[in-house]
């Protein structure tokens, strides 16, 4: 070891006697400081303007344009300049012959050179560390462990770059050629992850070798053992190759022996890399304060209940618009999107099934007129150069699974313990399922899903239509991420006049019936209520009389006319409601909602003092005067204004009682538009959150799964604009100048000697 340290010290002295080392240090210092203070300055101004700041540690250091993210993109440019002369300088000057003929081991020479460049790279981390120290005094409650995680990732990355540069320097006597060769290899390692991704086993090797994004997880606060092993193994590979290359100058070896040595080294590294990258052998350390890189507690409780094998099968229709998400070239990336789960459930197995069938991809059909589905599928295989083991025809795939209800979209099934559920792709910017959707699908396999049944037969709102007043968006839209069918609920409908209510029904919903119920329907509903089961009743002012025989049994009723208020901007029957104060959280928990919840055309709720239920008002009219009036009026008549006004009129209420050893839950709403497609899509409205909270209450807070995380605490910039300006001058002007003066002093002193 003493020899290695002595060689490293000598190499470091040589590096600092060269202007290149000083120039690189100055450029890195200016570049990193400029980026850092640009972010601090920008957030300080935003804070001064009253804007809310969040997660400053992550925003400043990572993310799309954080300090670590930006500097990671430039590190590969610095390393070739530093490593190009490590060995090539010795080869060019002839001193390599003296080294090889000396009693010093070649291994010590190479390790000494590598230790020198690794020590120099610590200066880069030191500069970033100084900026992190400044951030500690500039950002309240800076997430220190998160910042350290990024430093570790960047250092491992640059050391790997250095090992590659060291090997390239062994191959030539020309330093410029060594630098260019290093850039080429780094480019190749960034690109190799996209090669042969359609070839089994080979795709895992090339994906492992890819250096692209390897430090990203650590920069984002998650240290994964497979990434650490990657950097160590790749560095070891190129250090080993450097040793073997120099040994050829000292030892006489046959070509076959050399090839065998190189092959053995590469094979061992690839084998170790493959083994250490497997999910069961991976270890994780979440360095974030809020554990944002780990599943939330509710998701963890789900995965803890799963012990047996889990199979996630992706059915890829080549004619669907989202087909590319499941192609062989995307499989490794797709598998990595489930890494938060495979970390705790290493038994997850991912399968992919390819087929073709009629899809809703109108653009594809319009671009290829006259071609049938089979011809289109063949064209997709040819143009995408797909090498599939099997492409199922419509008839063949239908024998395996019925995907017609899924509109033949790209979809997954999750299988566990003999149960199966769908996990869908969505028509939004992200497309793939996130934690809420994945955890909901897993939870459906360990507990019974909530069964929502809509009553039909009396012209109620439909869960299958997209009109403004219908309910497809919130309940039955498979392509909408937050539709309840994608959040753990089963949603169906039945003719209440002709069919019995299914015994497994968790929530019966009666939404704005336009005609009177048959006596059989009334008997079924009353019997359902008498059993202590949950029900939701939504009315409209002009049609709520159809519900009178049901609400009478509950001890409540609706006003015969609409509730109206005077408004400067809206129609009188457009009410901006307010949430009732002091709602008993032991009865129902609602998220505090700063956005208004408007109701358009709503009946008030009247409560009979003899009701057997505890009535909790959820939404009511605000403090402005209100009256009862017919629907459709444009202004409130003066005669009506003279009548006594109403205040605090209940508009939506929760009814509860203890029956048969459990709590019966009922929601009454004087407005059926509340859950309509139009209202749930209204911008700036709190309606969607309110409706979601109601169904979470109905499901005993099992679904939708709450994946919210603790609020960040690093939300305040503690330095002023003047302090940032002075610091900027010091770090971007004075500090680099000191480095330049130090370098000049050392170089001049050496020349005088």
Q: Where are the domains of the chain?
A: 2-288, 297-424, 450-698
Residues 6 or more apart whose CB falls under 8 angstroms from that of 581 comprise: none
CATH class (in words) of the domain with range 450-698: alpha beta
pLDDT score for 251: 65
pLDDT at res. 587: 93
Q: Report residue 745's pLDDT band, with 50, 70 and 90 as the boundaries.
A: confident
Residue 185: its pLDDT value, please? 86
Instruction: Output the pLDDT for position 202.
Output: 66
Percentage of the chain lying above the pLDDT 70 cut = 96
Mean pLDDT of 536-545: 91
In 428-543 the beta strands, taken as DSSP E runs, fall at 450-456, 489-495, 507-511, 534-538
pLDDT per position as a tens digit, 629-670: 887 777 888 788 878 888 889 999 999 999 988 999 999 999
pLDDT more than 90, % of the chain: 62
Is the backbone peptide bond immediately before 704 cis, with ω within 30 degrees of 0? Answer: yes
Average pLDDT estimate for 374-380? 95
CB atoms inside a 10 Å sphere around CB 665: 24
Distance CA 736, CA 398 (A): 68
pLDDT tens string 211-261: 877 889 999 999 999 999 999 999 999 999 998 888 876 666 677 888 888
pLDDT (mean) for 112-131: 94
Beta bridge partners of residue 657, listed in sequence order? 664
317 or 13, which is more confident? Answer: 317
- Rounded to whole angstroms, how far apart are CA atoms 546 and 160? 74
Longest CA–CA span in the chain (Å) reads 112
Q: Where residue 207 falls among pLDDT bands split at 50, 70, 90?
A: confident
Angstrom CA distances, 1 to 5, 26, 121, 239, stand at: 6, 32, 20, 16
Least confident of 71-85, 128-142, 246-260, 575-589: 246-260
Helices (H) and strands (E) in the chain, counts: 28, 20
- What pLDDT is recorded for position 198? 62
Distances in Å between the alpha carbon of 493 and those of 444, 457, 534, 543, 739? Answer: 20, 10, 16, 21, 74
Read off the pLDDT of residues 590-620 as tens digits, 9 standing for 90 and up. Answer: 988 788 899 999 999 999 888 889 999 999 9
Beta-carbon-side half-sphere exposure of residue 358 (alpha carbons within 13 Å): 4
How confident is the model over 17-24, as a mean pLDDT? Answer: 89
Q: Is the pLDDT of residue 195 over 90?
A: no
Q: How many CA atoms lie within 13 A of 694 on its CB side?
A: 29
Residue 82 to residues 231, 275, 357, 740, Cα–Cα distance (Å): 19, 33, 56, 17
The pLDDT, as a whole number, for residue 250 is: 65
Tokens found for residue 106: 């070649």
pLDDT bracket for residue 348 (50, 70, 90): very high
Q: What is the pLDDT of residue 430?
A: 92
> What pLDDT, in 10s, does the model give residues 98-108?
666 677 788 88
Tokens of 498: 């002709």
Q: Where are the beta strands (DSSP E) in 134-196?
A: none
Bridge partners (DSSP) listed for residue 605:
558
Query: Which pLDDT belongs to residue 171?
Result: 85
Residue 183 — pLDDT band, cuts 50, 70, 90? Answer: confident
Position with higher pLDDT, 81 vs 376? 376
pTM of the complete model: 0.89
- Token pair belonging to 55: 């997660």
- pLDDT at residue 145 tops 90: yes
Across the chain, mean pLDDT equals 90
Confidence category of residue 162, pLDDT binned at 50, 70, 90: very high
Q: Is the dihedral of CA 675, 676, 677, 680 positive or negative?
A: negative
Contact 199, 327 (CB under 8 A): no
Average pLDDT over residues 515-543: 93
Which of 17-21, 183-187, 386-390, 400-404 is most confident? Answer: 400-404
Q: What is the pLDDT of residue 88?
A: 82
Mean pLDDT over 261-279 rounds to 86
The mean pLDDT of 45-63, rounded to a whole number, is 92
Q: What is the mean pLDDT of residues 465-487?
A: 95
Please determine, for residue 71, whether its predicted confidence score (pLDDT) is greater than 70: yes
If one compares 85 and 303, the residue with the highest pLDDT of the two is: 303
SS (H, E, C) 348-407: EEEEEEEECCCCCCHHHHHHCCCCCHHHHHHHHHHHCCCCCCCEECHHHHHHHCCCCCCC
User: Does the pLDDT value for residue 410 go beyond 70?
Assistant: yes
Highest mean pLDDT (candidates 173-182, 372-381, 743-752): 372-381
* Res. 322 pLDDT band, cuts 50 70 90: very high
Q: What pLDDT shows up at residue 249?
A: 61
Mean pLDDT of 136-165: 95
What is the DSSP track for 668-708?
EES-SGGGSHHHHT-TT-SHHHHHHHHHHHHTTT-SS----
């Amino acid at each position: 070891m003493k020899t290695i340290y002595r060689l490293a010290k000598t190499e470091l002295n040589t590096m600092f006697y060269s202007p290149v080392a000083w120039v690189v240090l100055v450029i890195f210092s200016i570049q990193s400081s400029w980026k850092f203070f640009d972010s601090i300055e920008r957030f300080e101004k935003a804070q001064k303007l009253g804007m809310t700041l969040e997660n400053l540690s992550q925003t400043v250091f990572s993310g799309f344009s954080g300090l670590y993210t930006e500097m990671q993109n430039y590190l590969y440019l610095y390393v070739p300049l530093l490593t190009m002369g490590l060995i090539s300088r010795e080869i060019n000057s002839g001193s390599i012959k003296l080294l090889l003929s000396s009693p010093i081991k070649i291994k010590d020479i190479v390790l000494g050179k590598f230790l020198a460049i690794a020590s120099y790279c610590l200066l880069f981390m030191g500069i970033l560390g100084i900026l992190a120290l400044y951030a500690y005094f500039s950002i309240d409650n800076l997430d220190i462990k998160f910042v350290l995680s990024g430093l570790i990732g960047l250092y491992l990355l640059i050391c790997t770059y250095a090992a590659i540069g060291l090997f390239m320097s062994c191959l030539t006597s020309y330093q410029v050629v060594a630098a260019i060769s290093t850039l080429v290899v780094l480019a190749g390692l960034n690109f190799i992850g996209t090669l042969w991704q359609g070839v089994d086993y080979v795709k895992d090797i090339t994906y492992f070798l890819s250096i692209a994004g390897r430090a990203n997880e650590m920069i984002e606060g998650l240290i994964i053992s497979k990434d650490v092993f990657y950097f160590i193994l790749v560095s070891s590979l190129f250090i080993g190759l450097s040793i073997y290359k120099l040994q050829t100058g000292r030892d006489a070896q046959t070509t076959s022996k050399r090839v065998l040595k190189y092959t053995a080294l590469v094979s061992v590294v690839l084998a170790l890399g493959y083994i250490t990258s497997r999910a069961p052998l991976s270890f994780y350390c979440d360095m974030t304060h809020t554990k944002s890189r780990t599943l939330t507690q509710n998701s963890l409780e789900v995965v803890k209940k799963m012990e047996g094998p889990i199979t996630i099968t992706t059915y890829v229709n080549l004619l669907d618009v989202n087909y590319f998400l499941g192609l062989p070239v995307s499989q490794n990336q797709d598998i990595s999107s489930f890494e938060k789960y495979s970390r705790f459930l290493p038994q997850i197995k991912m399968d992919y099934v390819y087929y073709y069938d009629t899809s809703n991809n109108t653009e594809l059909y319009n671009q290829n007129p006259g071609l049938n589905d089979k011809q289109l599928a063949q064209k997709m295989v040819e143009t995408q150069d797909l090498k599939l083991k099997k492409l199922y025809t419509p008839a063949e795939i239908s024998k395996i699974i019925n995907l017609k209800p899924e509109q033949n979209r790209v979809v997954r099934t999750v299988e566990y313990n003999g149960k199966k559920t769908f996990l869908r792709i969505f028509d939004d910017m992200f497309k793939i399922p996130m934690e809420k959707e994945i955890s909901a699908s897993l939870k459906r396999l360990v507990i019974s899903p909530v069964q929502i049944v809509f009553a039909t037969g009396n012209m109620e709102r439909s869960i299958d239509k997209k009109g403004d007043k219908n309910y497809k968006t919130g309940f039955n839209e498979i392509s909408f991420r937050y539709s309840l069918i994608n959040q753990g609920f089963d949603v169906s409908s039945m003719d209440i006049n002709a069919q019995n209510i299914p015994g497994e029904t968790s929530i019966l919903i009666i939404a704005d019936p336009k005609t009177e119920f048959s006596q059989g329907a009334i008997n079924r509903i009353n019997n359902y209520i008498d059993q202590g089961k949950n029900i939701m009743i939504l009315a409209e002012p002009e049609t709520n009389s159809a519900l009178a025989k049901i609400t009478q049994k509950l001890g409540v009723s609706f006003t015969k006319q609409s509730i109206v208020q005077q408004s400067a901007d809206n129609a009188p029957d457009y009410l901006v409601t307010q949430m009732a104060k002091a709602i008993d959280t032991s009865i129902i928990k609602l998220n505090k909602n700063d956005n208004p919840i408007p109701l358009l055309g709503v009946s008030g709720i009247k409560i009979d003092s003899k009701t057997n239920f505890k009535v909790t008002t959820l939404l009511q009219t605000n403090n402005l005067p209100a009256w009862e009036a017919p629907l459709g009026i444009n202004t409130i008549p003066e005669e009506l204004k003279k009548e006594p006004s109403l205040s605090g009129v209940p508009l939506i209420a929760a009814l509860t009682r203890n029956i048969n050893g459990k709590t019966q839950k009922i929601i009454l709403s004087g407005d059926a538009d509340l859950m309509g497609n139009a209202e749930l899509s209204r911008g700036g409205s709190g309606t969607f959150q309110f409706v979601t909270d109601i169904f979470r209450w109905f499901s005993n807070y099992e679904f939708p799964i709450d994946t919210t995380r603790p609020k960040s605490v690093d939300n305040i910039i503690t330095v002023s604009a003047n302090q940032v300006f002075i610091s900027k001058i010091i770090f971007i002007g004075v500090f680099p100048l000191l480095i330049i003066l130090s370098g000049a002093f050392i170089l001049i002193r050496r020349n005088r000697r």
